[in-house]
Structure 1
Amino acid sequence: MDTPSTAGQHLRQLRRHAKLSQLDLALITGVSQRHLSCLETGRAKPSPRTLHKLLTALEAPLERLLARLPIPSSTELPDAMPPLVLTRIRSTRGELSFLSTFTTFGMPQDITLTSLRIEHLIPADAPTWQVMRAAYADYAALVL
């Protein structure tokens, strides 16, 4: 498996390169060994949180994983794109710029609809990326 073609195969290759067994990685990340197996074989897809935990433990940035995946054959955009809003936030480290969008999950209950709405903030420029990376490094040093 020299050139993995799926994210799961890439995760397996990264884990093996780190000389970790599935059990080792499971213990480090808190993700079950069975789920790791399902991710590596393509029977399951990782949540963003799980993917973040795995890549952090393997010391592999997301960009490295994405760069190795094959380019999709179709580059057509969907009919309805989610609205993006430029959001600027003043902080102690200067003005931060983000692209903001929402994901809404709904569940029917009786006649009403209960929903969960999540806002995604995506750094919109290089200085914001640098501030966010530095903030994550500070946070990780405290927590990890």
Structure 2
Amino acid sequence: MSHLPFHPTGPATGTCAGEQLRRLRRQAGLSQMQLALLAGVSQRHLSCVETARAKASPSTLHALLSALDVPLEHCNEIFLAAGFAPRYVASGANAPTLKMVSDAVEHILQANNPAPAIVIDSHWNVTAANASTGLLLAMVGIDANGLSGLNLLDTLLRPGGLGDHLVNADEIRAITWQRAAREALSNPELARRLRDMPDSPAVSLNTTPAPVVLTRVRCAHGELKFLSTFTTFGMPLDITVESLRIEHLIPADGETWRVMNTAFSQWQASA
């Protein structure tokens, strides 16, 4: 067993756009030729942009950032570094333009019952959840009243949270850390949160990863098994919308479906 060789620092500040692009390309494990092909630009021009011998146009910069899948908030920083105005806004949660998004999220959450589903933002804060999520937490003895203020990283990685009730806690914690560490490369706040966490979870680097990872929860009803999937908004133009994702915990066997169905039916009857 070995520790993950990663120390998140977040994006560099005060650097030119070319330097930031080069850093992001290297973090993505892409050569200049590979990124140039993905973005539809010449390798020579990309090289000149990275070394500040040429300035990328807004359209070229957009193509490069899209190919690198850079978060919109960080895209704004790079546009500013290149001398252009920011392209994307961050609407408030109560903005009229986000009502359609909010309604869609609420529909997805409710439709997911009796399977748990939560909405998390770019910092892994839980911003919304369905009733089944609270029921699952209650089964393991976690107070669901403070669910809206819960941080998923905290409850999975810190002692005393949901992670303590996972049969395969080491596996889930390692996967969670790896995913958050990748996101922290372009998210300073998330990078700071990870630095404040306990030591990075140990993970075997020699083990072939399983094609499907189950979240195995230990509770009074025995072991419940869930498949985890994510829903995100395609082609978002708003930073707030882009940051949202819905995690679905889909029961992976008949017994888990039975337990969750029973709990949800009882909750409906008492509501």
Q: What TM-score comes out, normalization by structure 2 length?
A: 0.26
Larger radius of gyration: 2
Higher relative contact order structure (alpha carbons within 8 Å, sequence separation ≥ 6): 2
Which has a greater percent of strand? 1
Which has a greater percent of helix? 2
